[in-house]
């Protein structure tokens, strides 16, 4: 068990990528029906009303899957390139995870601002 945990294939990019992939497919397959559920994309913009909640979760699940398609191969490549878990290895594998998490939130919030106004009403011309 210790060999697996200390292997370069046990890295933040690979594990977070698998988590993003799982989250994206689960929210797509089983979307949270109400804002009272224990899971879902929960921010001020997404909890204005049911429409913003549904749109925010649908878009966050989509972006999450896209991020996973980047993180998983990156984590595998890092597993092959590095022979041990060094400090540089940690920085190289954790940095994309932080970037993707921030990008997921930023893109979803931007999308919600493009589709809805500040009162949660759908903007004219948005689908």
Condensed to tens digits (0 to 9), the pLDDT of residues 32-51 reads: 999 998 999 999 999 999 99
Average pLDDT of span 28-32: 94
Q: pLDDT tens across 6-15, in order?
A: 788 889 999 9
CB atoms within 10 A of CB 67: 24
How crowded is the C-beta side of 4, counted as CA atoms within 13 Å? Answer: 2
Domain ranges of the chain: 2-115
Give the C-alpha separation, 44 to 56, whole Å.
11
Residue 109 has pLDDT above 70, yes or no: yes
CA 110 and chain centroid, separation: 15
**Model's pTM, two decimal places?**
0.88
């Amino acid at each position: 068990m210790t060999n697996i945990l200390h292997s370069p294939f046990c890295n933040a990019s690979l594990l977070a990528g698998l988590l993003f992939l799982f989250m994206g497919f689960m929210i797509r397959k089983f979307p949270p029906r109400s804002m009272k559920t224990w899971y879902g994309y929960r921010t001020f913009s997404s909890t204005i009303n049911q429409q913003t909640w549904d749109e925010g979760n649908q878009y966050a699940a989509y972006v999450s899957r896209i991020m996973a398609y980047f993180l998983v191969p990156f984590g595998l490549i890092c597993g092959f390139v590095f022979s041990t878990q060094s400090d540089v290895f940690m920085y190289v594998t954790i940095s994309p995870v932080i970037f993707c998490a921030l990008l997921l939130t930023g893109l979803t919030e931007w999308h919600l601002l493009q589709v809805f106004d500040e009162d949660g009403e759908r903007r004219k011309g948005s689908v």
